[in-house]
Amino acid sequence: MTLALGCIADDYTGASDLANTLTRAGLRTLQTIGIPADDLALPEVDAVVVSLKSRSIEAGLAVSRSRAAETWLRGRGASHVLFKICSTFDSTDAGNIGPVMDALRDDCGEGIVLVTPAFPETGRTVYQGNLFVGAVPLNESPLKDHPLNPMHDSSLVRVLARQSRTQIGLVDLAAVTRGADAVRARLAELAGKGIGAAIIDAVFDRDLETIGLVAAEHRLSVGASGIGLGLARALVSTGKVKSNAAGGESGAAVGGPAACLAGSCSQATLKQIASAEQVMPVFHLDPDRILTGADEAQRALDWARPRLAEGPVLIASSSTPDQVAALQARHGRDAAGHAIEQAMADIAENLVKSGVRRLVVAGGETSGAVVDRLRIPGFLVGVEIAAGVPVLRAVGAGGGMLLALKSGNFGGPEFFSDALRLMR
Ligand code: ADP
């Protein structure tokens, strides 16, 4: 297998967002959880997104993990690697964007790296090197108060210069608007001055397409899902990748019992559970019993197992905001969240042992706990069930397995049935 595109994402949800964007743009995409073992059998794909958790860890560790991911990707033929960061450039003066970029640049011998977190469809645009979040500059957006990475400067040229060993230049919108040749010329000029990386402006998707064309001629780029979109479109338009226009693999049916788990307490999820009650049996966990050490997971499994042969079931811990607040007041917010996530992971693990091969999970943290417990090394990204929520086919799982992982407010009222209809 020769990858057309390798990606290293600095967190899991960012990785999923990128993998979904690449898939919609026509690339067969695999998202891995961490750096895969060398013996992982890979299906035929155009792009791999390695998900790390390196956004807010110590810079040296972020560098070594990213380098290992790069080695793995290059070893599978990736001539271009995208280091995927947050579209709000979450970082501090200590890193980790600059140090990781510098190390990857050294490793691949790149002269000048294009950098942009622009993703216009989510309101992230870059003009004169300044990042806007919706209508306001980054330093006036809610990111100024971020608990881990408060962003007080909208000039990404300055922000990245404080983190990187190289000088940072700017390719402005005027050059991008003139087209790929103008961008190439500007980059050559900057590289000639010894500048090793450049923030590049982008306000519309067509800007990302120009950027993608030029970036694909280099070994390394840094940015969010927007530059991923540009790279994917460039790979398709230049014929390097044959578009999988259906937007996601369909693959062989997996069959077998299906189950849904809901740990999200969002308004959307509460409505989705109410709709599911009309079409499938639903078991409501008692969160207090989980917190007081009763084997609530076992009670749910005893309820579910005899029903699995009849059709899908749903097990939910979700409650209304006042019930959630009351439980948190009794047990503490973190203890409550953690205990319920682990109970959900126990239930998922045992459902899979009982033969479940199609699993829908509602809740971002809940999904993370379930995927960790099931030790799934990666997913092939399939068709979208709802905006931003694709069907995922686990790789490396004996017998095949389909998952849908939905965070918070995603999906329409019939989300659980919609998902199961596409998970055959
Ligand atoms: P979302 O994507 O909606 O934010 P998450 O799974 O990320 O959902 O977060 C929901 C959190 O709430 C998890 O930590 C989960 O364990 C916890 N939780 C689930 N049910 C309850 C409940 N009934 N009371 C309190 N916390 C709950």
**Is the residue at 250 inside a domain?**
no
Per-residue model confidence as pLDDT tens digits over 337-349: 999 999 999 999 9
Averaged pLDDT for residues 310-320: 96
* Same domain assignment for residues 349 and 394: yes
User: CB of 99 closer than 6 A to ligand 1?
Assistant: no
> pLDDT at position 247, please?
58
Q: Is the pLDDT of residue 398 over 80?
A: no
Ligand 1 atom at shortest distance from the alpha carbon of 317: 20
* Same domain assignment for residues 170 and 292: no
How many angstroms separate the alpha carbon of residue 291 from the centre of ligand 1?
13
Averaged pLDDT for residues 150-160: 95
Mark which of 183, 207, 237 sits at the end of a domain.
Answer: 237
What is the SS3 assignment for 240? coil
Q: Which of 235, 252, 224, 238 is nearest to 28 (CA)?
A: 235
**Is the residue at 247 inside a domain?**
no
**Is the residue at 251 inside a domain?**
no
Q: Is the pLDDT of residue 396 over 60?
A: yes
* Same domain assignment for residues 200 and 345: no
> pLDDT at position 226, please?
97
> pLDDT at position 249, please?
64
Q: Which of 396, 397, 348 is nearest to 373 (CA)?
A: 348
Closest residue by Cα to atom 6, ligand 1, is 363
> pLDDT at position 142, please?
83
Mark which of 237, 267, 292 sits at the end of a domain.
Answer: 237
User: CB of 263 closer than 6 A to ligand 1?
Assistant: yes
**Is the residue at 52 inside a domain?**
yes
> pLDDT at position 145, please?
82
* Same domain assignment for residues 227 and 264: no
* Same domain assignment for residues 194 and 309: no
Ligand 1 atom at shortest distance from the alpha carbon of 344: 16
Q: Is the pLDDT of residue 248 over 70?
A: no
User: CB of 337 closer than 6 A to ligand 1?
Assistant: yes
* Same domain assignment for residues 168 and 291: no
Domain that holds residue 138: 5-237
* Same domain assignment for residues 11 and 158: yes
Q: What mean pLDDT is reported for the chain?
A: 93
Q: Provide the number of structural domains found in the chain.
A: 2
Angle 78-56-374 from CA coordinates, rounded to 5°: 65
Averaged pLDDT for residues 252-263: 93
How many angstroms separate the alpha carbon of residue 248 from the centre of ligand 1?
29
- DSSP 8-state assignment for residue 140: G
Per-residue model confidence as pLDDT tens digits over 278-306: 999 999 999 999 999 889 999 999 999 99
CATH number of the domain within which 370 lies? 3.40.980.20
Averaged pLDDT for residues 199-221: 98
State the pTM of this model: 0.88
User: CB of 87 closer than 6 A to ligand 1?
Assistant: no
AA letter at 211: I
Closest residue by Cα to atom 25, ligand 1, is 324
Averaged pLDDT for residues 176-189: 98
Q: Is the pLDDT of residue 246 over 60?
A: no
* Same domain assignment for residues 153 and 272: no
Q: What is the C-alpha separation between 168 and 164, in angstroms, rounded?
A: 8
How many angstroms separate the alpha carbon of residue 246 from the centre of ligand 1?
34
